Amino acid sequence: MYSFDSKIRPQWLLYGSFIWISGSSAAPFSSDQVVLTAEDGAGAVASENMECSRIGRDLLRLGGNAIDAMVGTQLCVGVTSMYHSGIGGGGFALVRTADGEYETIDFRETAPAAATQDMYNDDVHASIEGGLAVGVPSELRGLEYMHEKWGDLAWESVVMPASHLAREGFSVTADMVRYMVAGMKDAGRDFLIDEPSWAEVFAPNGTLLGEGDTMYRTRLADTLTTVAKKGASAFYTGDLAASFVKTVRDAGGIMTLEDLTAYRAEIREPLSTTFRNHTLYTTGAPASGAITLNMLKTMEQYPLPPTPATNLTMHRYNEAMRFAYGARSLLGDPDFVGGLGPYEASLLDNATAAHTRARILDNETQPVGRYAPHALFVPDTHGTSHVVTADSAGRAVSLTSTVNLLFGALLVDPRTGVVLNNEMNDFSIPGVRNAFGFEPSPANFIRPGKRSLSSITPVIVEAPDGALRAVVGAAGGSRIVSATAQVLWHVLEHGMTMTEAVAEPRLHDQLMPNEVWLEYTFNNETAASLAEKGHRVKWVREGLSAVQGITVLGSGKFEAASEPRQKNSGGLTA
């Protein structure tokens, strides 16, 4: 049926929720009819779609490792959650090897070679929708790099489950219905229904698919099959590349085939610091890991409170968050912005944390300028999807992917079925001030080949003895930082399980706008206390961020916790 030239050849080949016996010509049968035995504690997976987590879990059961499980899960997420993620976008990953070594893979989209700093001066909306909004797609280069370096299963065996799912169809979930409706509302038109390239998937009979209907993405299935057989390079050269480059240019874009062939994932040193006797690793700029860990370092300066959620503690936590977000405006692509290494290191040291604590007032919040002395801002980021995996050998991956806004640039290539990102909207635009009169940050201005600043913050935690303790990350644009930090805070300081921590009501304060967002389920007494201290409290619905997390239990088994605010998310252990 399929042949494998390298790495381990599994006896079973997985395709979505089906399993075929290698070499068999029989029709596929439900995996529920097959018992695949595995030792307890073989590994864990969590993602925003249970169907995708099953693929990752089953790849672990077949002898794959955390990297294999991540690739299979992530490609599936791009099939089922195309409004957030896919091979037309990019992202960041943090990998822990079996030897306890760490590596950051930056597969963020880059600005095309013809991009200029002032390309949106006359039309800011062009950074949101259409060909000019598209950065160079980069996800497959990142996945390919990680699999070639650390994967155990053959490339084809980890790619084909997503292809099969796209071809055979998958159920439209409640989450998808919500995002389809929101995407069309944000766009101001029913593009999923009225535009043929979208409608053939989302409204094949003239009306939008509903919950429980089956969606087919056969063009994307063909693309993934080609990638499975020929490798990621088939996506960056030849007919596939020519097709979506044409789609971009026909929509007013400037991307070229040369931009695609020139793209490389950047391998960067991870950042690390300690918190409550644990060691935390994350990604540095152009991601925002330093900002997340800075919040925790500030909170570490306080003695452990007798209870985890006192009103004063939550005020201090919110103030630490405001100082952290105020520091974010100086970050950018380290290949274009000098001095970021020392700056990020300073954000993670005890002296900076102690200085920040000394600036926090227990009786009141402060004006915005006190937290952002440089008077610069960076734009909000959007979208994203997160996947976490771990295995019994101590390997782990925390990966965030994105096409930015819902459905990216609102462009889908009719031949490849690829939804194209609008990552160019994450750059700062000269001369466009925010509501506080702050100037845009020059560190995040457009340059050819540059990567825009991102809120993405994958984190892996080591226990005091050096063993793998937790794998965490979030989706939700600018709320990634606050959600990731809060879950880690609850697990490492308050002793919550990952499931408990992910379910806790969240607060978010990114300094601009000058308000603290509390989920409707947040404690009313704490909300009143924050308001008394001068915080502008805004109540928001749940689901503006989505966390995925894994913890390693003392028995060597895993706890996989997926975002309860997403109805169809799933965490599974093998």
Nearest to 542 by CA among 178, 77, 84: 178
β-pairing, 439-440 vs 376-377, is parallel
β-bridge partners, 546:
475
**SS3 state of residue 419:** strand
Class of residue 520 by CB neighbours under 10 A (exposed 0-12, middle 13-18, buried 19+): exposed
Work out the angle at residue 479's Cα, subtended by the Cα atoms of residues 473 and 480, and round it to the nearest 5 degrees.
15
426 annotated as a binding-site residue: yes
Q: Which residue has the tokens 């998310």?
A: 569
Q: Is 402 annotated for ligand binding?
A: yes
d(CA 337, CA 457): 19
Catalytic, out of 223, 384, 484, 526:
384
| The two structure tokens encoding residue 426 | 């994450």
Exposed, middle or buried, 110 (CB in 10 Å: 0-12/13-18/19+)? buried
User: Length of the chain in residues, anyone?
Assistant: 574
> Edge-to-edge strands of the sheet including 558-561?
271-275, 278-282, 459-462, 468-475, 546-552, 558-561
419 has binding-site annotation:
no
For tokens 């053939």, the residue is 200
**454 labelled binding-site residue:** yes
Taking a C-beta distance cutoff of 8 angstroms, is the pair 395, 49 a contact? no
CA distance 286 to 267: 12
Cis peptide before 334 (omega within 30 of 0): no
Q: Which two tokens stand for residue 138?
A: 């980069």
Q: Any known ligand binding at 477? A: yes
CA 472 to CA 488: how far, in whole Å? 8
**Helix and strand tally (H, E) in the chain?**
19, 25
Helix then strand then coil, % of the chain, to nearest 5: 40, 20, 45
Beta carbons of 84 and 96 less than 8 angstroms apart: no
Do the bridges between strand 29-30 and strand 43-47 make them parallel or antiparallel, or are there none, so unpaired? unpaired
Contact 245, 236 (CB under 8 A): no
Rounded distance between C-alpha atoms, residue 214 and residue 218, angstroms: 12
One-letter amino acid identity for 436?
Answer: F
Token match 């600036």: residue? 359
User: What are the structure tokens assigned to 358, written together?
Assistant: 């000394």
The amino acid present at 539, given as its one-letter code, is: W
Is 108 labeled as ligand-binding?
A: yes
Q: How many CB atoms are located within 10 Å of the residue 519 CB?
A: 18
Whether residue 131 is annotated as binding a ligand: the answer is no
Active site residue 226: no
Q: At what angle do helices 50-61 and 155-168 cross, to 10 degrees?
A: 150
3-class SS at 335?
A: coil
Cβ 397 vs Cβ 471: under 8 Å: yes
Instruction: Name the DSSP letter for residue 476.
Output: S
Residues belonging to the active site: 384
Binding-site residues for L-glutamate: 108, 402-404, 426, 454-455, 477
Binding-site residues: 108, 402-404, 426, 454-455, 477
